A and B are shown apart, each in its own frame.
Chain A
Amino acid sequence: MSLQIINLHATLEDGTPILKGVNLEIPKGQVHAIMGPNGSGKSTLSKVIAGHESYVVTAGSVLQDGEELLEKSVDERSRDGIFLAFQYPSEVPGVSNANFIRAALQARLPKGEEIDAVAYYKSLYEKMDLLEMDRKFTARAVNEGFSGGEKKRNEILQMMMLDPQYGILDETDSGLDIDALKIVAKGVNAMRSPDRGLLLITHYQRLLDYIKPDVVHVMAEGKIVRSGGAELALELEENGYEFLKEPALA
C-alpha cells in the first residue's frame, strides 16, 4: 500500500517543462520529506498530485494503492483520500470555517446522508484544542484575515478532519515562528499512522527537527536526485545544495 509516483513529467500550460521524470514511493506508515532549492519543482509535484489544472502531465503515472490517480478530477482525488496542505491557502469570504469543513465532509457521504452535527463539532473541537486554535475560528470565514501561522494550523485542522490516506504538506513550515511550528508539528505527528503516508515538502531542515522523516529526498531540476535517511537533511543543512551541481555534471 503506497503512493507511487512513476516517471512523472509535467509542463506548464505553455509547454515549459517542470517535472522531468520524478520517481518516488511513499508507503503507508511512513513520513517522507522532499527538500530542494527554489524552483526545483517541489510545489509543482504537490499540485500535480492534487490535480491542479494549470499543469499538463505529459508522461508518467501516480498510483494510489495501485490505482491510477491522474485520471480523476481534483475533488475526486480528495474524496478518495489525497490531501494537499497548501503553501498559500485561499481565503473564502463569507464561508465559515466550520461550514467549509462540514461541506468537505458532507461531500464524502452518499446522497441523502447528513452529517451528525453534535459528533461533528465534538470532533472539530478536539482537533482545534490539539492545535491550540481558539473556538472563534469555527465562525470566522475560511482563512480571511488569518495570520500566516493561523492559516497553516487551519490546513492541518482540515487534514485531521478529513483523515486522508495520503497527506502532502507543501511548505507548511514557511511563515511560521518557532511556537507555531511546534504546534503544527504536533498536529502532523498526531496524524502519523500505519494507515497513512505523509509527504512533507520543505525548504528548510528545521521542520524535520520536530517531524522526524523516515526518508529524505532531494529534488533538483524536476527530478529526485538523492534519497537517504533523516541524516541527509542535516547534511543538506550543513553543506547547502551546492553538492547538487556535481552529481548533475557526473
Chain B
Amino acid sequence: MILSTIPTWFAARQFSARERYESLPMPKRGDEMWRFSNLKQLAFDEGTASSATIDPLDLLARSAGPEKSAAKLVFHRDELIHSEANLPAGVICMPLAQAIIEHSGLIEAHFMKQETRLGSAKYAALHEASVRNGVFVFVPDGIEVEGTIEVHHWNSGTAGLFPHTLIVTGRHAKVCVVDHFASADEEAGVVIALNDLAAGEGSKLDYIALQELNELSRMIQINQTKVARDASTIGFTLNTGAAWARNESLSRLEGPGGRSDMLSVSLPDHQQEYDQRTFQHHVAPGATSDLLFKNVLYGHSRTIFSGLIFVDEGAHHTDAYQTCRNLLKTDTCEANSMPGLEINADQVKCSHGSTTSQISDDEIFYLRARGIDPANARRLIARGFCIEAIQRLNHPELESFIIDRLERKFSRIAVTS
C-alpha cells in the first residue's frame, strides 16, 4: 500500500493497535482461557522471507477449489497473484487493501468491531496493527451469490502473515466464502488471521476455513460472527496442517430467529496441536446456536476444546447446543475437552457434551469380515466419524471438496504411521 492513500482512520487504528499489542501481557500459565495450551508456541520473532524460489504460476496451479466458484482470489503473502470473478451486480469482492481505499466507510463500519473474548486480545491487536491485505466481501440486500467465493492465502518464509477476511451481507442476501490457508514452502511460517463476519437480517452467510499449512507452521485464527434477526450463518473449520493452530470462534446472536452453526473437523497427527476455544453468545431471545466439533487424533497429537454457551439476561427461548467428539487413534494422543454453560435467562434449551472414544474392535472386525483390510477399515470409520459435521454444510459440492482434502490427509497418515 502507498502510505498516502491509506485513510487516516485506518492508520490511527493500526497505530493504537500496535500500542495495545505492546502493552497487553503475554498469556501465562493459570490463565483460564489458555488452560492446557502450549504457551511456548506464542514466541513469535521477526522472521525472514523464504529462502525458496516461489513461482506464482505454480501456486496458482495448486490453488484448487470446489468446481463452481463465483470468484477466486489467490494471494502469496498478501500479494494478489490472481483474481477472477463472475458476481452479480453490486457485490463487492476485492483485496482488503483496495477496499480500504475504495470503500473506506463500509470497512470502517465493520472492521474488527467485536471484542476478542477468548484469550487472544493481544494477538488480535498484533493482527490489527500488522494486517496488510485480505479479502472484503459485501453482498447487498436481496442479492444471492451462487457458487462459492474462493480465497487462497499462500504463505512462505518465517515472517508473520496477517490475512483478514471481512464479509458483510445485507438483508436476505446470501454468500459462501472459502478461505484456504496453505504453505508455499517448507519453512516454519506464522499466520495470524482474523475473520469478521456480519450477517444482516434474514441473510445466509457461510464461511469455511481450510487450514492446510505445512507441519512446521503456527497459526492463530480468530473468527468473530455477528448474526442479525433471522440470519443464518455457518462457520466451518478444517484443520489438517500446522504444527500448532489455535482457533478462537465467537458467535454473537444479536437478533431473534438468528442461527449460528459452528462446525469443525480436525485431523492432527505426529506432534500437531490444535487448541480450540469457542463462545456462543446469545444476546437476543429466540435464537439458535449449534456447535459440532470432531477431532480424530493420530500419533502424539493433542487437541484442546474449550467451549462456552453464554445466555444473556433476557435472551429467553434460546436454543443452544454444543458437542465435541474426539476419536483417539493411538494410545499416545491426547484430547482435552472443557464444555461450559452459563444461562441467565428463562425457558432456554441448552445442552453441551463431549465424548472421547476409540474405534471398537467389533466395528473393525465387522469391516474386515467384509474383506476390507485393517488400514482401510480404520480410515473408513474415521472418515465416517467426520462426515456428520461436513454434511451439516448442506452443500454437496463443497462437502465432496472437503472430503477430498480429508482423504489427502488420511493418505499421508496411512503412509507415515
Which residues of A are interface residues toward B (Cβ below 8 A)? 50-54, 73-75, 78-79, 84, 86, 89-95, 99-101, 103-104, 107-108, 141, 158, 162
Contacts and interface: CB of A to CB of B under 8 A. Distances in A.
A contacts with B: majority SS: mixed
B368 A78 contact: yes
12 contacts: A51-B369, A53-B361, A74-B365, A75-B372, A79-B371, A94-B383, A94-B384, A94-B386, A95-B383, A95-B387, A104-B370, A104-B371
A84 B370 CA distance: 8
State the 5 A-B residue pairs at the shortest beta-carbon distance, nearest first: A94-B384, A78-B371, A94-B387, A90-B366, A95-B384
A108 B380 contact: no
B contacts with A: majority SS: helix
B8 interface: no
A162 B371 contact: yes
Given A75-B372, A79-B371, A107-B371, A92 B365 contact: no
A53 B374 CA distance: 13
- Which of B366, B374, B385, B388 lies at the interface centre, i.e. has the most chain A CB atoms within 10 A of its CB? B366
B370 A78 contact: yes
Interface in B270-305: none
Contacts of A52: 365
Contacts of B387: 94-95
- Which of A99, A103, A108 lies at the interface centre, i.e. has the most chain B CB atoms within 10 A of its CB? A103
Interface of B: 360-363, 365-374, 376-377, 380-381, 383-388
- Which of B368, B376, B387 lies at the interface centre, i.e. has the most chain A CB atoms within 10 A of its CB? B368
Contacts of B373: 75, 107
Contacts of A101: 370
Nearest to A104: B370
Nearest to A164: B371
Nearest to B365: A52
A107 B374 CA distance: 11
Contact of A73 (B366, B368, B383, B386): B368
Given A50-B369, A78-B368, A107-B370, 14 more contacts: A52-B365, A75-B374, A75-B377, A89-B366, A90-B365, A92-B363, A92-B381, A93-B385, A94-B386, A94-B387, A99-B380, A104-B370, A107-B372, A162-B370
